[in-house]
Amino acid sequence: MEGAEKQDHRSHKATKAGRGAKEKKKDKKAKKEKSRVEKHNPRAFSVSNIVRTQRTIQRNLDRGQRKEYVPLNDRRSEVDAPPSVIVVMGPPKVGKSTLIRSMVKMYCNHNLSSVTGPVTVVTGKNKRVTFFECPNDTAAMLDLAKVADLVLLMVDAKYGFEMETFEFLNMLQTHGFPKVMGVFTHLDQFKTMKNLRKTKKLLKHRFWTEIYDGAKMFYFSGCVNGKYLKNEVKQLTLFVSRVKYRPLVWRNTHPYLVVDRHEDLTHPNLLADNPSCERSIAFYGYVRGTHFRKGTKVHLIGVGDYDIQEIDVMDDPCPLPDHEKKRQTLNKKEALLYAPLSNVGAVSFDKDAVYIDIGRVNYTKKENLDIRREGNENSDGEKEEDDEDDTPQYDDNAPAGLLRNLQDVQMGVDDKMKHSSLRLFRGSEAVKAGESDEDSDDSDDEEDDDSAANEKRRRSTKAEIDVLTLPFRQRYGPNADTKNDSDDSSSAPSSSDDESDEDDGGSSSSGESEEGESDSDDESDAGSDAGPSSSAPAVSAMWKTDLAQKAAASYLRREASNVNLQELIYGRQESTNVVSDDDDGKGGKKDRKRGAEKFDDDDDGSSSEDDDFFKVRKKGGQETALVSRGDSAAGTASGALMSNLLGEEDSSRITDAMISSDDPSEGSGGGFDLRPWLEEGEGCLMESIRDKFVTGKWNEEGPAENDDDEEVYGDFEDLETGEKFGPNGEIDSGDEDDDNAVGMNDEERREYYAKKKSSQKSNFDEEYDGEKKGEVVAGAGNDENAENEFVETLKREKESRLKRNQEEFGEEGETIRLRHEGYRQGLYCRFRIDGVPSEFIESFNPNMPLVIGGLTPQETNHGYVRCRFKKHRWHKKILKCNDPLVFSIGWRRFQSIPVYSTEEQNGRHRYLKYTPEHMHCHATFYGHQVPPNTGILAIQRLSGNIPDFRIAATGVALELDASFDIVKKLKLVGTPSKIYRNTAFISGMFNSDLEVSRFEGASIKTVSGIRGQVKKALREGQPGSFRATFEDKILMSDIVFCRTWMPIEVKKYYNPVTSLLSQNGAEGWRAMKPKAQLQIETATPIEVNTDSIYKPIDRPEKKFNKLHVPKSLEAAMPFANKQKDETKRKKKSYVSKRAVVMDKDEKKKYTFLQALSTIRNEKVTKKRAKNAEKRIEKAKQDAKKEEKLEAIRKVQQKRKYRTEGKLATAREAKRLRGE
């Protein structure tokens, strides 16, 4: 096998002769002499079909061009994004509520009884949605079109598209056009699949015409148990969870709040005095759009403009799942649902009140309930007994028992007071009303019994105090116990120092200066019992007795109430635990906060017995040898000395291992010697290890000592930044690029390398993005590279901005962030607004949306708005100037009077009485100012039953100003009164000389086209007459007119639509009505102006005089041009006067000719009638033939068109493929 593996095969023979060998030798020789010329064949890698390749490249470029769009800065953050608003819209009885209930059931497995107001559901790990059912009201449709992120457009497939659907689509187009999905229901009502497929296809193409080709649609076949099929709803939820929302301009620049609920905060006293007073209301909801700032003026849609009095951040009622749990999926138990107006949970809302379902009646007796169960009304009463057995029993002295007993009150207050009793404490005897003071002797005996229990508690507290004062008594040995309590000079200042030290919270210093205090129980008792018999100095010095125990008791009280900051920061310190001989070592640590074990002293001698033996517990669980209290005094004194030498910070870290005997031979294993650590000097232990820490002296390569560590650990390098570090973490500046870092301290060096790291990372990102797109980074002047990286640059800027905000504020700087940045989107806030009319509360409808929109300072000003305007093509009537319209612009809905105009070439805006039929015009109206390019929608009426399309016009705002110039054409008419050559006196055009003076030099014109000019007013004649000159002489019959432009004033009318302040909504809002509507409602006849009536034009034919040519001129004219008209004879001619008389032969001939003519006429008449019948019969036969031929012609033409269509499709496909 080894030989087979190493077998050498015979190689091909090299060419030694022929053309190939000569070329090879020649190439080898040229390569050796380095004179070889590289040859490139340009056709080696060319395309086979140039035209097809060109078309393919052009097609790819066109596709890329169509995908390009202007990127908008999306303010929606991925971390704290608010719930997306999903509006379910459709005509009545189409299944909107059923769809919301089905989706809520799919998301959180909850059955909604009623869908009212916003319904917020958690749909994923980092996503929430808010469903809102759109009512069939124009005002509600306008409001929801402004805040919707996704619209589920429901259509009854059996009925087809209705008018409300197209109206809502036009509202969406005007206010930003969010994502739209179609949902077709009632598909189960189709009996045949053929009809169903045909209807689906028809609805799909009609839906695509309104949205865009390829818009997503869902088909719901039917309902099961009041909900749609699970698979169909699941498919819809998948698409809803994956949809990406494009930022809309208006919402990207304005903050807004979709209100979940609101509360009336008005003081009850104000409501009692005046029920119709202005209210103070708190609104709750998620902040959306931009950041809300304090002091921002807001518009409550349907109510008015207000100032925010207070903004508070509340807990999120529907928070996202906790990311710390690291779940892979969202459990249905953890999915949350928040629908405050839909009676979800135990709280339900009604028109009059809010009801809370507590589930079980605890305190009210069943016989006092208004609503009883049916089982309690049984005649046998068995079920009532069972219910009574289940009733919980309460103590009469407990709160629940007192509440139940209050229901049985049958006596008056005066009678109750006579037999009342008062119990101060739970275990004490009740004091009855009317009892004499003689019973006090009996109560003394009972108080003696209570004092025994109190004495027991006092002794246990005293044991704790003795433990705390133990270090003080042991500090100065046994002589401290024998000092006199009356040593005023030494005890007074020390006690004051102790109290001040204890106020600072130092436990170790509480007993350091208590030199003159006695700790024995006998002395303390004697000092306390010697009250009245002692002298005045003794009485004044009584406050000095037991100062140590008092200080310890005060320390215990403060320690129980205050928070130890040192324990919060450094953790709890290990303390010495004192245990008895009977303790097994497991239960010694009972109270680490006080540092001692709580003693149980049942008798007076227990404390002296326990003082004989103690055990000191070590960290590792081992116990020291048993020593007596006297033997351990030296150890405790050394511990106190250690505390004094180390100071407050170091003494807090003293462990039980430090407090032991100085001699290593004593005790178990020896103690810790602290003296080397307290020495000072160059050779001490502290100086020997000083350079081991960061604050010590380091040389460039490492620490001062132990350079052998370099061999153990070695150097390492940060591959991302290029920094090199030594074995101890020092920065190695061996590279040439790091020469700038030489001489810097640690902080400057860190900053230098951080900047270097960020620059390298940005360069790496740019190179990576270029390589990913297949681009070659040629230089900074590459325009294509800059154009393609525009979107990625915006994304990186957004990420860096979010990162900077997090680094700047952090998690603990939320208050500072809200003050500087405002209340950002995603926060659940509470807004308090004052001055809201009481009608808002009285007429609140939970089905109507409630939106609070933020306003910019510009939008709070009134002014004139000029917009590009066009009547909607489905609106039947054209719009008339000065007829009021309801405008929807931004957050506002208001009524105003527009004036229509058109812009001419010279920039003049000419007045229009009506809107053009299929053209844009300009509309100017008075209202709140809005930014340019804001969508405008106009409706004639919000109320009433309007069968036709309700949207009157749409437009976009162009410019804002305090006034606009709109002019109207005006013709002034006059007649000439006197004519002299080219000059004429005109009257009837003006009314006074003043008007004439204003029009001096104005151009005038006659109907025949002769132009002229106004000169001066005449002093005589009719007022307003003037002299005018013309190009030619005019006639007295000419009419002279002057064309002028009259300015039009736009009416300042602004009426906000306050639909939420009426019980009937938009129906109850009172709006201005046009004149035509008022005439129809009041049956008023139309006023007729006689001058405006169109009359038939009667123009009589004008007869001109006969042309008279002089005889001398006619004689010289040729004969052809001479007049041939004969003069009218005054007398009859000779022939006309004579009568013709025929003889007998002439009469016979005339009679025969008449007979022949009659026969011929009759034959002709019969022949014509017969020919007409033949023509009719032939026409019928021709019609039959033509019908057959037309059918054949249609079949042939259809076949021809089908063939041509297939050929055209094939050619187009071939063209797209580039063939």
Model pLDDT for residues 485-510, shown as the tens digit of each residue: 444 444 333 343 444 344 443 333 33
Query: Judging by DSSP bridges, how do beta strands 279-288 and 256-264 pair with one another?
Result: antiparallel
Radius of gyration of the chain (CA): 54
Q: 929 near 890, Cβ under 8 Å?
A: no
Flag the least confident range among 527-541, 698-712, 966-980, 1107-1121. 527-541
The 8-class DSSP code of residue 480 comes to G
> Rounded to the nearest 5°, which phi and psi values hold at 136?
-85, 65
**Span of 112-121, 581-590, 673-682, 839-848 with lowest mean pLDDT:** 581-590
What are the helix (H) ranges across 585-716? 606-610, 633-651, 675-678, 685-688, 709-713
Q: What is the pLDDT of residue 697?
A: 62
Report how far residue 410's alpha carbon sits from residue 506's, in angstroms, rounded to the nearest whole number: 61
pLDDT, mean over the chain: 75
How far apart, in whole angstroms, are the C-alpha atoms of residue 406 and residue 409?
A: 6
List the structure tokens of 1082: 């009041």
Alpha helices in 920-1017, H assignment, sequence order = 993-998
CA distance 441 to 781: 108
Tell me the C-alpha distance between 88 and 148, whole Å.
10
CB contact at 8 A, 263 and 154: no
Interval 281-289 mean pLDDT: 93
Has residue 616 got a pLDDT over 90? Answer: no
- Numbers of helices and strands, H then E, in the chain: 34, 39
- The answer to whether 520 and 482 have CB atoms below 8 angstroms apart is no
Q: Is 1100 exposed, middle or buried (0-12, 13-18, 19+ CB in 10 A)?
A: exposed
CB 894 within 8 A of CB 301: no
What sign does the dihedral 1015-1020-1022-1024 (CA atoms) show? Answer: positive
- Which residue is it, tokens 């659907």? 165
For residue 952, what are the CA distances in angstroms to 125, 234, 885, 900?
44, 39, 9, 14
Cα(261)–Cα(283) distance, rounded to whole angstroms? 6
Q: What is the pLDDT of residues 962-971, one digit of tens each?
A: 889 999 999 9
In percent, how much of the chain has pLDDT > 70?
63
**Cβ pair 991, 1017 in contact under 8 A:** no
pLDDT band, very low/low/confident/very high, at 1056 (cuts 50, 70, 90): very high
* Rounded Cα gap, residues 350 and 1142, in angstroms: 118
Residue 514 — very low, low, confident or very high, per pLDDT cuts 50/70/90? very low
417's tokens: 């007071």
Q: Are 494 and 513 spatial neighbours (Cβ–Cβ below 8 Å)?
A: yes
Nearest to residue 184, comparing CAs of 228, 132, 244, 230?
228
Instruction: Name, in order, each residue with C-beta under 8 angstroms of 471's C-beta and a sequence gap of 6 or more.
Output: 508, 511, 636, 639, 640
pLDDT of residue 450: 56
Q: Which of 637-651, 652-666, 770-784, 796-810 has the highest mean pLDDT?
A: 796-810
- Of 1089 and 987, which is predicted with more confidence? 987
The DSSP element (H or E) to which 490 belongs, if any, is helix 488-503
Are 562 and 505 spatial neighbours (Cβ–Cβ below 8 Å)? yes
What is the amino acid identity at position 378? N
Are 139 and 1066 in contact by the 8 Å Cβ rule? The answer is yes
pLDDT band per the 50, 70, 90 thresholds, residue 750: confident
Outline where DSSP puts E strands in 276-366: 279-288, 297-300, 304-313, 337-338, 347-349, 354-356
CB atoms < 10 A from the CB of 991, how many? 11
Read off the DSSP letter of residue 1038: -
Question: What is the DSSP-derived secondary structure letter of residue 1115?
Answer: H
CB distance 507 to 592 below 8 Å: no
What CA–CA distances, in Å, run from 741 to 140, 702, 715, 737, 760? Answer: 66, 17, 18, 9, 17
Contact 881, 913 (CB under 8 A): yes
Angle subtended at Cα 633 by Cα 627 and Cα 636, rounded to the nearest 5 degrees:
105
SS3 889: strand
- Residue 1002 in tokens: 């104005």
The b-or-e profile of 890-906 (16+ CB within 10 A means b, else e) is bbbbbbbbbbbbeeeee
Report whether 1004 contacts 1013 (CB < 8 A).
yes
Residue 472 identity (one-letter amino acid): F
pLDDT tens-digit readout, 386-431: 444 455 666 666 666 776 776 666 666 667 666 667 666 656 677 7
Kindly write down the DSSP assignment for every residue of 169-199, as one continuous string: HHHHHHTT--EEEEEEE-GGG-SSHHHHHHH
Q: Could you tell me which residue, 556 or 889, shows the higher pLDDT?
A: 889
pLDDT tens by residue, 207-241: 999 898 889 999 998 888 888 999 999 999 999 98
* Exposure string for 508-527, b = 16+ CB within 10 A, e = fewer: bbbbbbbbbbbbebebbeeb
Cα–Cα nearest to 163, from 1077, 955, 945: 945
Q: Are 129 and 104 in contact (CB under 8 A)?
A: no
Q: How much is the average pLDDT of 746-774? A: 72
Helix (H) or strand (E) holding 451: helix 440-475
Bridge partners (DSSP) of residue 924 are: 866, 899
- Residues 524, 549 contacting (CB under 8 angstroms): yes
Calpha distance 496→1199 (Å, rounded): 119
Torsional sign, CA 559, 565, 569, 575? negative
Q: Look at residue 153 in the predicted model and tell me its pLDDT.
A: 94
Regarding predicted confidence, which is higher, 886 or 358? 886
Q: How confident is the model at residue 367 (pLDDT cuts 50, 70, 90)?
A: low
What's the pLDDT score for residue 899? 95
Q: Which pLDDT does position 523 carry in this prediction?
A: 39
Per residue, the 3-state secondary structure of 345-411, as one string, reads CCEEECCCCEEECCCCCCCCCHHHCCCCCHHHHCCCCHHHHHHHHHCCCCCCCCHHHHHHHHCCCCC
Residue 80 burial class via C-beta count within 10 angstroms: exposed 0-12, middle 13-18, buried 19 and up: middle
Taking 60 as the threshold, does the pLDDT of residue 190 lie above it? yes
Contact in structure between 849 and 303 (CB atoms under 8 Å): no
Q: Residue 1102's pLDDT band (boundaries 50, 70, 90)?
A: confident
Q: What is each CA distance from 679 to 634, 684, 691, 789, 1212, in whole angstroms?
A: 22, 6, 17, 67, 99
pLDDT band at 79 (very low <50, low <70, confident <90, very high): low
Rounded Cα distance, 408 and 864, in Å: 72
- pLDDT tens across 1157-1207, in order? 999 999 999 999 999 999 999 999 999 999 999 999 999 999 999 999 999
Question: Per the structure block, which two tokens stand in for 838?
Answer: 């009481």
Yes or no: say if 967 and 1045 are a contact pair by the CB < 8 Å rule.
yes
**H-run or E-run covering 230:** helix 230-242
Q: What is the mean pLDDT of residues 47-64?
A: 89
